[in-house]
Structure 1
Amino acid sequence: MTFDLSLYLVTGRYDYSDDEFLSIIEEACKNGVTIVQLREKELTTNAFYNLAVKVKEVTDKYNVPLIINDRVDIALAVDAAGVHIGDDELPVHITRQIIGDDKILGVTVKTTTRAIEAERGGADYFGVGAFFDTNTKETIVQSKEALVEVIQHTNVPSVGIGGLKEENIDVLKDTGVKGAAIVSEIMLAENVAEKVSGLKQKIDYILEDN
């Protein structure tokens, strides 16, 4: 399967209403985001499902793949493009068995050992980071060298994640990375269209040399 990881939006709810939240996602998809991960930690299963249905209507409109964070059941229920799992979720190979071969499976990795194991388990891409402190979740800051090592020892494309912003995204240069996962820089932008366009331009430049 083919998918573009270059500008990867990971959603954050902050204090937005559903309408505001969906509007931001639509602006992002309209202006160059290539993949969207819906991340929800607080919602009930029913509320998460209902929100995922609405988000998928937006992403489908712009032919942008929707990835559901952690929740395999929600991903299958809304027929999302795939699921992204972390260290504390189901084993990678079990997740692959459940979702089948046609869904995208992303895995968060922090070490080369974990990356090799996840590749064997059926991962389609890795999220590697965080590169900078972030308020999104508790983070352990990774080095650029850790990302390069993962990329050199696996055949699965990697996305850098964690505190990445337009002003510091150059950290991904010369790593071999296939994209950048962005949260607050887009979700909290005063002008989402302008921010996405600026990020897209920077990422395209970085990927040219990668």
Structure 2
Amino acid sequence: MRLYALCDQNLLDSRAILLEDYIRIAKEQNAEIIQYRNKNADIAFIKQQLIKIRKIYDGFLIVNDAYELIDFCDGVHVGQEDLRTIDKDPLKAAKILRSIVKKDKILGISTHTKEEVLQANEMDLNYIGLGAYRDTNTKEDVTTILGDRLDEIASLSKHYVAAIGGVKKSDNFSHVTYYVIGSGLLS
């Protein structure tokens, strides 16, 4: 299993966990990638957190949504809704985003259906997040649970696939490169 740790600020706050403690746990479990997600803070706070993480973690650091902070990390991950805020056409949005997130940086998007995976194949990405695999407590608006279909849909992707949404360390997939685990690191 290749670990992609999702460091969600709301989760940390709700469990009174320090950012530094979560990063330490992720490092102990050999996380290759850490994504910092904060849906409620302003850009200045997110930037401060990225700088703090970078001081204690030398793996790949991804920021969720805040592509304007690309200089402080190794890449950006956006969801389908976030793509649509850039442009109503997801393919055009991905091109615009890639013009900001240069080739030397990582660009990933969330996908939830076979159609979104096939569309992502037309985009200049490094990986897709695919899910949700099962229900999760780190995201409130999960509408699509793929369950056992996740691996089959993952096989259609030309990009690396990160399984997202309720993934556990004990899960086993054939067509998935990374297991994205958030609160599961803490159990």
Q: TM-score, normalised by structure 1?
A: 0.75
The amino acid across from 1:85 in the alignment is V
* CA-atom RMSD in angstroms: 2.0
Q: How many residues align?
A: 173
Which stretches in structure 1 are left out of the alignment for 5+ residues? Answer: 190-210
Q: TM-score, normalised by structure 2?
A: 0.83
- More strand, by proportion: 2
Equivalent in the alignment of 1:181: 180
SS of residue paired to 1:88: helix
Change in Cα spacing, 1:178 to 1:53, as seen in structure 2 (3 Å) is same
Alpha-carbon distance between aligned partners in 2 of 1:135 and 1:178, rounded to the nearest angstrom? 22
Alpha-carbon distance between aligned partners in 2 of 1:165 and 1:183, rounded to the nearest angstrom? 9
Which stretches in structure 2 are left out of the alignment for 5+ residues? Answer: 87-92
Within a 5 Å distance, the mapping from 1:147-162 to structure 2 comes to 147-149=151-153, 151-162=154-165
Alpha-carbon distance between aligned partners in 2 of 1:49 and 1:180, rounded to the nearest angstrom? 25
Say yes or no: does 1:143 pair with 2:141: no
Alpha-carbon distance between aligned partners in 2 of 1:94 and 1:127, rounded to the nearest angstrom? 19
Say yes or no: does 1:113 pair with 2:115: yes
Alpha-carbon distance between aligned partners in 1 of 2:16 and 2:165, rounded to the nearest angstrom? 24
Q: Tell me which of 9, 31, 43 is aligned to 2:5.
A: 9
Q: Tell me which of 10, 30, 33 is aligned to 2:31.
A: 33
* % identity of equivalent residues: 27
Say yes or no: does 1:68 pair with 2:29: no
- More helix, by proportion: 1
Say yes or no: does 1:86 pair with 2:85: no
Shift of 1:22: 1.4
CA contact (8 A) 2:7 2:22 kept: no
CA contact (8 A) 1:96 1:121 kept: no
Shift of 1:119: 2.7
Shift of 1:146: 4.1
